[in-house]
Homo-oligomer: A and B are copies of this chain.
Amino acid sequence: MRSGHSLAFNQFEEIVSFITIRASNRSETTVLKLLEKYKYSMSQAISPFQINWEAESNWNSDELPDKIKGSSLLIPIPKSSTNGLMLREKGYSESIESLSEYHFLSDGTFILLTNYGNTIAEERIWFLSENVRCRSSVVRTSNGGGIMQTSFASEIRRLTS
């Protein structure tokens, strides 16, 4: 369950999504290609993973096909145990390849920062229990000023074999 808040327009969006997260192998072609693009080696990457999503929104989303259904490969490149880079095939607020920075707060909350050029996105993820997590995001204009949208998701993990 995800809610979007458009602050300037005082508008709510309600989205229900099914998200699949699957570990990838570091030697898969797509992983190697993304690493090569950013000039990192397989040994610098840990736990690459593939995200697939299908979303239903209460807004007419004909114009946003990328947000309705899609997939993205993500590759963490740790710098230390608490921070690093995240290579992404597709980003959140703009559907282009992107390089993000991540770090963990003192309680394990995960923060992901991405500069897309026109916009800057901050996502944060924290777990309420082993199988329930919250994920929030904010999208700002990259000149620093405007906060365009916030969102919040409550996500329940369904383990599959």
Contact = CB atoms under 8 A, between A and B. Distances in A.
Interface of A: 1, 3, 5, 7, 10, 12, 14, 16, 105-107, 109, 111, 122, 124, 126, 128-129, 132, 134, 136, 138, 140, 147, 150, 152, 154, 156
A134 B151 CA distance: 10
A1 to B, nearest CB: 5
B109 A128 contact: no
A7 B109 contact: no
A111 B111 CA distance: 16
A111 to B, nearest CB: 7
B107 A111 contact: yes
Contacts of A10: 1, 16
Contacts of A154: 5, 7, 150
Contacts of A3: 3, 5, 12, 14, 152
B12 A5 contact: no
A133 to B, nearest CB: 10
A18 to B, nearest CB: 12
Contact of A7 (B107, B132, B138): B132
A52 to B, nearest CB: 20
Nearest to A82: B106
29 contacts: A1-B7, A1-B10, A1-B12, A3-B14, A5-B154, A7-B132, A7-B154, A7-B156, A10-B16, A12-B14, A14-B14, A105-B107, A105-B109, A106-B106, A107-B111, A122-B128, A128-B138, A128-B140, A128-B147, A128-B150, A129-B147, A132-B147, A134-B136, A134-B150, A136-B136, A136-B152, A150-B152, A150-B154, A152-B152
